[in-house]
Chains A and B, each alone.
Chain A
Amino acid sequence: MLRKSRFAALLGLLMLGSVATAAVPDTMAQRMLACAACHGAEGRATGDGFYPRIAGKPAGYLYHQLINFREGRRLNAQMTYLLERQSDDYLREMAEYFAGLSLPYPPPQPNQAEPARLQRGLQLVRQGDTARGIPACNDCHGEKMTGVTPDIPGLLGLPYDYLVAQFGAWRQGTRHGAAPDCMAAIVAKLTPEDIDAAASWLAAQPMPADPHPATSLPKPLPVSCGSVTGPGASR
């Protein structure tokens, strides 16, 4: 008897489901589906190579990028169009949502860079080029290059095309950070060969066992960055 009534209840539920409207959850994940079209499911990127992974990047960094797109400091018509009429609070919530996603990383893309180029890239990442006033990437982006919370992005787990496109965007003036724009000043000192070498090395690295951003830097930042407002901002 009990079993029968349970069955009836189940059947009733099923029938209810078939006439009700599609069930769409009232969640951030549902709200952020528009991002997945380019940035991949849950922002973990696609094999496309141009649209970056956003899952797991530091929240402050993501928030600043959303603001930069909204205010025209970064130029991408599609991004600006999607964000233009959203409040700071909602953009902050979006940034925190993606920052909080801890998802596995795929292995790095196959890389054909010759050893000399990778060596030059490694040198720039670890030591920079003191004679030319270029700081090491490590000095800001973290010892493991996975970024520093809340404002500094990691540079691993990103495809070569995306990395080179960002350096190019700074050179062309289609990407700006909040003033003082530290990356713009650094990119201005890099040659195309430097950019190619650094991007080749970065794109070839697997993620470390702990892919999360660091929480602090051992030394103060070597340059002033308007986009770094959280801990570590002081020079």
Chain B
Amino acid sequence: MKRALIILALLGAGAAALVFWLGLRSDPGDISMVSPLQTPAGLSVEERGHYLVRVGDCMACHTRQGGADYAGGRMIPTPFGDFYSPNLTPDPETGLGNWSADDFWKAMHEGRSRDGSLLYPAFPYTNYTKLSRDDSDAMFAYLRTLPAVKEARREHQLQFPYNYRFLLVGWRALFFRPGVYQPDSAQDEQWNRGAYLVQGLGHCSACHEARNALGAVQSRDNPAGGLVLNWYAPALAAPAEAGVQHWPKEDIVRLLRDGIAPGASTLGPMAEVVYESLQHASAQDLDAMATYLKSLEPTQPPARGAVQVPTHAVDDMSKRGSLIYAEHCASCHGDAGEGAPPAAPALRGNRAVTMAAAVNPIRVVLFGGYAPGTAGNPRPFGMPPFGSTLSNQDVADVLTYTRSAWGNQGSPVSAAEVARNRQGPLW
């Protein structure tokens, strides 16, 4: 008996030691790995860094509306509370003024701040750990050239128990393994370049992969996309969602660069990614991302069972929805959902309309929206917001109709789900 207790205690102590080791160990990283992102010769380190910071879209989180570039202060709502992004400008008091390139590397590669404290994974170091040391140094060199801006630091407003930073030790032990991207020798250079961009610098999985109850991305357990900033970021490998395995490569490039492509456009947070970041990516990098995305093994995300609409109600909803469609939608989207691109996309056979998670179509009907005004699409057409014209039930009815008419096979949408989406900030 006593012996068993001793063994149990030893096992417990061993497990705790393992957790602490995994969560707190220092990892210098493989600094011999050279970035696959070879930029044109003649660029200075700072210029190269500027490009990388742009393609990594650091701006999206680290600039608040109306604030100075990269001075932080933007609120990022999550299920765990609201995060406020820190200041990346070289201000010594509130920014990175006292940081060295080593400190910056430690943040990007290991997710630890200059003082050693553990960073919350709202900062996607789980992706940035794949970056090479030379890329991290170039990004830091660029950030040093920014005007120093004093921007008071705002504390994160997190719920219990997430406000206890030391709990990240356990989180890291479970979900984080530092490691620079290792090229896949079975693939060519362009594919590896794309993988490095998508998995690392572009941190696409931060939005496009489902997170578990503890906020970790684990696509091998759950191939769904992610619910982020009140939008659904569709799964990049799923042909029923955002998979592009069967697209011509030039259409993928157009969607990433221009924000619009035949049969697809970007709205919400992805419109911001295109506008601030991807439209500035080089032709080679866009091609690399398209190459990699095309090669993803197709997945089938689980159907989301959240919609609670009794079967007997669906027929009536659809009937009412068809009348609302005829009154408000048909003049642009066509009597049979055939659309009039580029002004109004087809709704028939449009996976953005029919995908299991209905949140995006709900938000588009409520709040409308424009594709980003990029160099390739400088004067986009827009969808009017119907939030003040249509009731929750109206929106549920017209979407239930649209998702099942003309051969579409989407699930019904409930008024309760529409009501939930009237709240929250817009992106």
Binding site for B on A (CB under 8 A): 21-24, 26, 30-38, 71-73, 77-78, 80-87, 89-90, 93
CB <8 Å contact, A30 and B386? no
Tell me the B63-109 residues at the A interface (CB within 8 Å). 65-66
| Docked pose: A34 CA to B383 CA in angstroms | 6
Which residue in chain A gives the minimum CB-CB distance to B426?
A: A81
Chain B residues near A37: list those with CB within 8 A: 368, 384-386, 388-389
CB <8 Å contact, A81 and B427? yes
Tell me the B315-359 residues at the A interface (CB within 8 Å). 330-335, 338-341, 343-344, 346
CB <8 Å contact, A85 and B368? no
Contact among B275, B368, B426 with A80 in the assembled complex (CB-CB below 8 Å): B426
CB <8 Å contact, A78 and B385? yes
CB <8 Å contact, B275 and A85? yes
| Docked pose: A81 CA to B385 CA in angstroms | 11
Task: Give 10 CB contacts A-B under 8 Å.
Answer: A34-B383, A37-B385, A72-B65, A78-B426, A85-B275, A85-B276, A85-B370, A85-B372, A86-B372, A86-B380
Shortest beta-carbon distance, A107 to chain B, in Å?
24
Q: State whether the Cβ of B271 lies closer than 8 Å to any Cβ in chain A.
A: yes
Which residue in chain B gives the minimum CB-CB distance to A71?
A: B66
CB <8 Å contact, A22 and B427? no
CB <8 Å contact, A86 and B388? no
CB <8 Å contact, B388 and A38? yes
CB <8 Å contact, B388 and A22? no
Tell me the B275-290 residues at the A interface (CB within 8 Å). 275-276
Chain A residues near B344: list those with CB within 8 A: 22, 24
Which residue in chain B gives the minimum CB-CB distance to A31?
A: B381
CB <8 Å contact, A90 and B373? yes
6 extra interface residue pairs, beta carbon distance < 8 Å, beyond A31-B379, A36-B384, A83-B370: A21-B341, A24-B340, A24-B344, A34-B382, A34-B385, A38-B388
Chain B residues near A36: list those with CB within 8 A: 384
Chain B residues near A80: list those with CB within 8 A: 65, 426
Chain A residues near B427: list those with CB within 8 A: 81
CB <8 Å contact, B65 and A30? no
